[in-house]
Amino acid sequence: MSQPRIRVAAYVLRHRAARPELLVFDHVGLPEAGTQVPAGGVQPGESFEEAALREVAEETGLRTATAVRELAVEDKPHPETGQPRRTTVLLLRAPADTPDAWRHHVTGTDTDAGLTFACRFLPLPLARPLADDQDAWLGRVDPRLATAPGGGR
């Protein structure tokens, strides 16, 4: 059995009017990819916190998020390739004055380079699950924030 790819996923929350909101994005021109949270591989020598902050900055352009805590570790194969993955999910906070929505053009050399992501905050709990069940651990932030089972599926 091959070693799992080590990854992070970031739940970036901001609070507006006492209601938490989650940072998500969609691939512009690729709606079949679904709505997602920032996620990606951990580089050699990088902590999970550093990787989560880097992925948020790379995929959304947001550089003002701060790490709060680790929420979960999930062993789940890639939905398309079936390759093993181990994802550490972290909770991050964004300032309340972060814009509601924006577009970010990804630069660099990673597989996302050249893509444009439409970023926005969604109120919690979510009305529908995220792509690849990325919302599965929101209940670890607060049980009231968990996506309803089968919501919108």
Q: How many CB atoms lie within 10 A of CB 89?
A: 24
pLDDT at 105 over 70: yes
pLDDT of residue 150: 59
Q: Following DSSP, what letter does each residue of 22-67 receive, concatenated?
A: EEEEEETT-GGG--B--EEEPPTT--HHHHHHHHHHHHH-----EE
pLDDT of residue 89: 98
Residue linked to tokens 């901001």: 14
Two tokens, residue 85: 């993955």
Q: In this structure, which topology does domain 5-141 adopt according to CATH? A: Nucleoside Triphosphate Pyrophosphohydrolase (3.90.79)
pLDDT at 122 over 70: yes
Q: Are 124 and 138 in contact (CB under 8 A)?
A: yes
pLDDT of residue 110: 75
Q: What is the pLDDT of residues 17-64, one digit of tens each?
A: 778 999 999 999 989 999 999 999 999 999 999 999 999 999 999 999
